[in-house]
Amino acid sequence: MKTEILKLLRESEDYISGQALCEYFQVSRTAVWKVINQLKEEGYQIEAVRNRGYHIVDCPDILSREEIESQMETVWAGRHVVYFEETDSTNNQIKKLAEAGAAHGTLAVADMQKSGKGRRGRAWESPKNRNIYMSILLRPEMNPSRAPQLTLVMAMSVAQSLRQLEQVDAKIKWPNDIVLNKKKICGILTEMNTEIDYINHVVIGIGINVNDEYIPEDLKEKATSLKLEEKRHIQRGTLIAHIMKTFEANYDAFMKTKDLSFMQKEYNEILVNCSQEVTIIGVDSQYHAIAKGINETGELVIQKEDGTMDIIYSGEVSVRGIYGYV
Amino acid sequence: MKTEILKLLRESEDYISGQALCEYFQVSRTAVWKVINQLKEEGYQIEAVRNRGYHIVDCPDILSREEIESQMETVWAGRHVVYFEETDSTNNQIKKLAEAGAAHGTLAVADMQKSGKGRRGRAWESPKNRNIYMSILLRPEMNPSRAPQLTLVMAMSVAQSLRQLEQVDAKIKWPNDIVLNKKKICGILTEMNTEIDYINHVVIGIGINVNDEYIPEDLKEKATSLKLEEKRHIQRGTLIAHIMKTFEANYDAFMKTKDLSFMQKEYNEILVNCSQEVTIIGVDSQYHAIAKGINETGELVIQKEDGTMDIIYSGEVSVRGIYGYV
């Protein structure tokens, strides 16, 4: 009921009478009043005016299951939210939930991670009260060889949400980092449990530097946050719900077309290295090339100095742009 | 010390004096005597002759960490054995050990599984005291796309061990079942935890019907055991150690050649469908073809009725031979 009252308050421009809420939920005045008080205590500014009812004046940037679910406009992605004030890592939590049979689309969100994970066992800084740390559980029916494309679908979705909702010039560093003004603001960690020809589950973890004002000194050249770039505070719950909505639409399109052709053009338009010189760093060699964009299965197409084209698979090589980190 | 005493007793054709064991392990007579008594209680027939020492007369088919480790002749595969009298599934146990940081090559063996797993969530019958249920943890440094080939490396290793050690005509049903006299005696379940371009770990589970005499009525046409076919009792510990030795050599060759070319010829020689008519059953269609054997990356090469060649990926289709199950 708390989620639904919050949703009604958010969506209504006018006051909502306590009586209407009582009738809608078939509960007592006291029950409604208790929920309103809980919300106030959590930091929501709710105005109560005699004979008119309740009206939400301001929503704080707090995270809770209700805060996130009340803004969710999806069919399956993030419909079921598991919220942690603090946890080890949301990827770990989703993996456990997956083993226990949790549904496709289940979303874990944490306000703080004690052992946030980056790729290949690296740490992901996860201080409390500032950023987004979330992981979604997927159970796609496809060959495991196609699953890496899901990471690009998520990168596209995060970039689109940041561009549409926050009106920032978010770009993608292939395959799946999001950058803003040439600095990283989002990392994505995809983990899969597969059999030889069958996916048990996929976990996509997303870490976004949202309201962080304290980027460690040694990372300042490479990483930033939305707040540092935009000089304004961002509602994390709203952004999470928007990303889920964008992702759900993209995922459904991906399952239909069975490749990335539906988003290839847009991905390449915001690909930070596109049409630029990149350095391809392999195990024994490195060389320069021009990045031409992704193909329909998500590999990076490059043009070498002798004019021939080649395809780069993720993990085979590192790709460096001509400026700094990106 | 128990593992090592068992190993010394097994390897010595002559009697080993108690005094020699005391000196070797720097322990008292009583300590040696206690271990010998434990082994006797477990079912090992050990003869003790005054002034000559101990001699092992017969080893029962019991499983224990010591029984398996005392016969292990490998460098890393199965050097560390975790033994369960009963467990849910050895794949589950190895997955947990993997998350906790267990080493490459760690082997879980169970005498009984309460929820033995087959592919795609199917059950694997796992009664006690008869069969082999084991899972090995691997941490290969390679792209996840190559990992399915590891299943074929294990299938080859099990078939080779059965042929060499037990002198039976074990064959392979592509990609990874082992059959004897056209009936299944071994299934392999590979599960992986991967990132987009990185393998966290691979678990290969092996179930072998060894001394089983009670194949369920509805499976009798399709499945059998070594004992049912060979009319003799088989030492599971010895077979496990032999498989680990064979697998270690094959795995090391695979990591060196980076594909299956090192074993392709031998695999195809014992491939049960090779040069025979098979039915390729896809989602919407089915057709006949001649199986030509695997290529160097483990896909099945087939010749269609119009003479053209094609490649079948595991999971894309089912392949049925012209007789019954195989």
Cα distance between the two ends of chain A? 45
CB nearest A196 (choices: B190, B193, B195)? B190
Mean pLDDT of B79-94: 96
Tell me the average pLDDT of chain B.
90
Mean pLDDT of B231-257: 96
Tokens 């392709």, residue located: B264
Check CB contact under 8 Å for A197 and B315.
yes
Torsions phi, psi for B96 (to 5 deg): -65, -45
Quick one: pLDDT band at residue B325, thresholds 50, 70, 90? very low
pLDDT of the residue at B277: 87
For residue range A147-195, what is the model confidence (pLDDT) as tens digits? 889 999 999 999 999 999 999 999 999 888 999 999 999 999 999 999 8
pLDDT of the residue at A251: 98
Closest CA to B294 of B321, B280, B312: B312
Cα separation, A26 vs A113, whole angstroms:
39
| Best A196, A199, A202, A204 residue to mutate vs chain B (most B CBs within 10 Å) | A196
User: Where does residue B43 fall: left (phi above 0), alpha (psi -120 to 50 degrees), or beta otherwise?
Assistant: left
pLDDT of the residue at A74: 96
Cα separation, B219 vs B122, whole angstroms:
14
Lowest mean pLDDT among B12-21, B74-83, B158-167, B248-257: B12-21
Check CB contact under 8 Å for B313 and A197.
yes
Torsions phi, psi for A116 (to 5 deg): -55, 140
Share of chain A above pLDDT 70, in %: 96
Quick one: pLDDT band at residue B324, thresholds 50, 70, 90? very low
Cα separation, B104 vs B200, whole angstroms:
11
Share of chain B above pLDDT 90, in %: 56
Shortest distance, CA A152 to any CA of chain B (angstroms)? 10
pLDDT of the residue at B62: 84
In one-letter notation, the amino acid at residue A23 is E
pLDDT of the residue at B316: 56
Sequence-distant (≥ 6) Cβ neighbours of residue B84 within 8 angstroms: B90, B93, B108, B109, B110, B111
Mean pLDDT of B42-53: 87
Q: Which two tokens stand for residue A29?
A: 């005045």
**Is the confidence at residue B104, as pLDDT, over 90?**
yes
Alpha helices in chain B (DSSP H): 2-11, 18-25, 29-42, 65-69, 90-99, 148-165, 226-230, 236-257, 264-269
Check CB contact under 8 Å for B145 and A145.
yes
Share of chain B above pLDDT 70, in %: 96
Check CB contact under 8 Å for A195 and B189.
yes
CA angle B50, B52, B54 (to 5 degrees): 90
Q: Would you mind telling me the total number of residues written for chain B in this entry?
A: 326
Quick one: pLDDT band at residue B181, thresholds 50, 70, 90? very high
**Is the confidence at residue A317, as pLDDT, over 80?**
no
pLDDT of the residue at B136: 98
Sequence-distant (≥ 6) Cβ neighbours of residue B256 within 8 angstroms: B262
For residue range B13-34, what is the model confidence (pLDDT) as tens digits? 888 888 888 988 888 888 888 9
Share of chain A above pLDDT 90, in %: 56
Q: Which two tokens stand for residue A282?
A: 């392999």
Please name the residue of chain A whose CA is at the shortest distance from the CA of residue B95: A193
Q: What interface predicted TM-score (ipTM) does this complex get?
A: 0.73
**Is the confidence at residue A325, as pLDDT, over 50?**
no
pLDDT of the residue at B322: 46
- Pick from A31-45, B101-115, B311-325 the range whose average pLDDT is largest: B101-115
Please list every residue in chain A whose beta carbon sits closer than 8 Å to the beta carbon of residue B315: 143, 196-198
**Is the confidence at residue B140, as pLDDT, over 60?**
yes
Mean pLDDT of A133-155: 94
List of domains in chain B: 2-58 (1.10.10.10), 65-269 (3.30.930.10), 277-320 (2.30.30.100)
For residue range A24-64, what is the model confidence (pLDDT) as tens digits? 888 988 888 899 988 888 888 898 888 888 988 888 888 99
Chain B residues with at least one Cβ partner in A under 8 Å: 119-120, 143-145, 148, 151, 175-176, 189-198, 200, 313-316
Q: Residue B20, Cβ neighbours under 10 Å: how many?
A: 15
Quick one: pLDDT band at residue B110, thresholds 50, 70, 90? very high
For residue range A248-296, what is the model confidence (pLDDT) as tens digits? 999 999 999 999 999 999 999 999 888 888 888 877 778 889 999 999 9
Q: Which two tokens stand for residue A194?
A: 């597969």
pLDDT of the residue at B318: 67
Check CB contact under 8 Å for A198 and B145.
no
Mean pLDDT of B206-229: 91
Cα distance between the two ends of chain B? 45
Check CB contact under 8 Å for B145 and A143.
no
**Is the confidence at residue A224, as pLDDT, over 80?**
yes
Q: Which two tokens stand for residue B254?
A: 């695979």
CB nearest A315 (choices: B176, B191, B198)? B198
Q: Residue B238, Cβ neighbours under 10 Å: how many?
A: 18
